[in-house]
Chains A and B, each alone.
Chain A
Amino acid sequence: MNCTTEALPKGMLLAVEGQVDMHTSPELRGKLRETLERKSSPIVVDLTKVGFIDSSGLATLIEALQAVGKYGGRLRLFGLSPAVKNLFKLSNLISIFDIRDTREDAVR
């Protein structure tokens, strides 16, 4: 898994690539923690190049969502593949997260 960050005019974008699972989610958690420590908002997570997320990846995103809420920030996701979107539906999280269709909409 690769995870790169990009400063936005407002907030930060994290572009994730590869499989997010129990092995790789600590790296994503670390990157998210860096942006959370700066109290960035919105934090935009680009999942366009993620073909697979498991419950460890979901847990990492839930942690970030809760942490960003503590300082009144926002976390947005975009680029979910059908498989990843289905995982959010199965976990009843589709309405908990702010999921956008496009990058333009997510970074706005």
Chain B
Amino acid sequence: MSAPPDVTLEAHLPSHPRFLAFVRALAGEGAALAGFTDEDRDRIELAVVEGFSNIIRHGYGGRTDQRIEIRMRVPQGTFRIELDDWATFVDPSRIASRPLDDVRPGGLGVHLMRSTMDVVDYLKNRHGGTTLVMEKRRPPADGAAR
């Protein structure tokens, strides 16, 4: 069977946590289309859910009626997603996780995104908000075997 075509998808969602299951399913399908293993698919789902949640929690301060735009591109071997918000852009150097040995609730989202994806960037977008860019590439040896 031939490889599936490259897929590009755009979605506009309210900043409500009820959409996290949908966002996770979207990321998982994208990862599967790009040929990732189940283990990497789990990691991609986690990173995308953390990214979406962080926008609601930190970008919008918990407001659930704001807008989040998702752009997902999945050429074979790569998963790339961009999440746009319309909140205030925050200097990326100020975005950090808590130290892992300081065990307390919260503060792990950014760590989980950075430890599961190859690229995690925060860019100022044309709306004055932030575009969270995450990308993961399939290892070359994995791709060569297909």
B57→A54 contact, CB < 8 A: no
In the bound complex, residues from chain B placing their C-beta under 8 Å from that of A8 are none
How many angstroms between the C-alpha atoms of A87 and B47 in the bound complex? 11
Bound-state CA distance A83–B43 (Å) is 8
Question: Are A63 and B20 in contact, CB atoms less than 8 angstroms apart?
Answer: no
B73 contacts partner chain A, Cβ-Cβ < 8 Å: no
Q: Which residues of B contact A19 (CB under 8 A)?
A: 20-21, 24
The distance from the CB of A10 to the nearest CB of chain B, in whole angstroms, is 26
CA distance A80 to B101 in the complex (A): 22
Q: A16 interface residue, CB < 8 Å from B?
A: no
Q: Given A52-B24, A52-B45, are A96 and B103 also a contact pair (CB < 8 Å)? A: yes
What separation, in Å, do the CA atoms of A92 and B108 have in the docked complex? 10
CA distance A87 to B24 in the complex (A): 15
Compute the total of residue contacts between A and B using a CB distance below 8 Å: 72
Which residues of A sit under 8 angstroms from B42, Cβ to Cβ? 52, 82-83, 86
B49 interfacial by beta-carbon distance below 8 Å: yes
Asked if B125 is an interface residue, CB under 8 A from chain A, the answer is no
Q: Residues 79-119 of chain B: 1 if any A CB is under 8 Å from the residue's CB, otherwise 0?
A: 00000000000000000000011011110110110011000
**Is A62 an interface residue, CB under 8 A from the partner?**
yes
Q: Once the chains are docked, how many angstroms separate the CA of A68 from the CA of B42?
A: 30
If A22-B17, A22-B56, A86-B39 touch, whether A54 touches B104 (CB-CB below 8 Å) is no
Is A62 in contact with B18, judged by CB distance below 8 angstroms? no
Q: Which residues of chain A come closer than 8 Å to B104, judged between CB atoms?
A: 62, 66
Q: Which residues of A contact B101 (CB under 8 A)?
A: 92
Question: Which residues of B pack against A, CB within 8 Å?
Answer: 16-18, 20-21, 24, 39, 42-43, 45-46, 49-50, 53, 56-57, 100-101, 103-106, 108-109, 111-112, 115-116
- Which A residues fall within an 8 A CB radius of B? 19, 21-23, 52, 54-56, 58-60, 62-63, 66, 82-83, 86-87, 90-93, 96
